[in-house]
Structure 1
Amino acid sequence: MEHATRRSAIQVMLSEHSRLTSIVSGMLRVVDDMACSASSPSAMLMRAMLYYIQEFPDQIHHPKEEQYLFGGLRERTDECNGVIGELERQHEEGGQRICALERALTRYELAGADMLPALREEVMNYADFYARHRHLEESVILPAAQRYLTAADWLEIDEAFGANRDPLESLESESNLDDLYALIVQTMPNTQPRA
Structure 2
Amino acid sequence: MASRCCRCAGRADAQTNRRPPSTLRHRFGCPQGSCPMKTATAVLRHEHEAIVLALRILAEIDRHAIAHDPVERQDLQALVDFLAEFADTCHHGKEEQLLFPRLAQTGNPKVQHTVERLLPEHVRGRHWIGKMRQALQPLRPEAFHEAARAYAQLLLTHIEQENTVLFPMAEQLLSTEELIALSREFDTFERQVMGPERHEALHDLLSRLQTRYSI
Q: TM-score, normalised by structure 1?
A: 0.80
- What is the deviation of 1:104? 1.9
| Aligned partner letter, 1:174 | H
Q: Secondary structure at the match of 2:191?
A: coil
For structure 1, the residue ranges without an aligned partner over 5 or more in a row are 110-114, 191-195
The match for 1:18 is 49
| Aligned partner letter, 1:165 | R
- What is the deviation of 1:91? 1.3
The match for 2:28 is none
Once residues 175 and 155 of structure 1 are traced to their aligned partners in structure 2, the CA distance between those partners, rounded to angstroms, is 21
Tell me the alpha carbon deviations over residues 117-137 of structure 1, each in whole angstroms, 9 at most, x when there is no partner. Answer: 222121111111011111111
Structure having greater relative contact order (Cα 8 Å, sep ≥ 6) = 1
| Aligned partner letter, 1:87 | L
The match for 2:81 is 51
Once residues 155 and 131 of structure 1 are traced to their aligned partners in structure 2, the CA distance between those partners, rounded to angstroms, is 26
Tell me the alpha carbon deviations over residues 60-109 of structure 1, each in whole angstroms, 9 at most, x when there is no partner. Answer: 111111233222221112221121012121112211110011112324x2
Once residues 122 and 88 of structure 1 are traced to their aligned partners in structure 2, the CA distance between those partners, rounded to angstroms, is 20
| Aligned partner letter, 2:92 | H
Q: Whose helix proportion is higher, 1 or 2? A: 1
71, 78, 98: which one aligns with 1:68: 98
The match for 2:133 is 102
Conserved? CA contact 1:68–1:157, under 8 Å: yes
Pick which of 30-39 and 62-71 moved more: 30-39
For structure 2, the residue ranges without an aligned partner over 5 or more in a row are 9-37
Q: Secondary structure at the match of 1:106?
A: coil
Conserved? CA contact 1:100–1:122, under 8 Å: yes
- What is the deviation of 1:36? 4.2
Once residues 206 and 92 of structure 2 are traced to their aligned partners in structure 1, the CA distance between those partners, rounded to angstroms, is 18
- What is the deviation of 1:155? 2.4
- What is the deviation of 1:24? 0.8
The match for 1:147 is 172
Conserved? CA contact 1:34–1:40, under 8 Å: yes
Once residues 68 and 118 of structure 2 are traced to their aligned partners in structure 1, the CA distance between those partners, rounded to angstroms, is 37
Once residues 152 and 176 of structure 2 are traced to their aligned partners in structure 1, the CA distance between those partners, rounded to angstroms, is 34
Number of aligned pairs? 179
- What is the deviation of 1:159? 1.2
Percentage of pairs with the same residue: 22
Tell me the alpha carbon deviations over residues 154-191 of structure 1, each in whole angstroms, 9 at most, x when there is no partner. Answer: 1222213345635444x43233222222222223355x
The match for 1:87 is 118
Once residues 36 and 67 of structure 1 are traced to their aligned partners in structure 2, the CA distance between those partners, rounded to angstroms, is 40
| Aligned partner letter, 2:55 | V
The match for 2:23 is none
The match for 2:20 is none
Once residues 161 and 50 of structure 2 are traced to their aligned partners in structure 1, the CA distance between those partners, rounded to angstroms, is 17
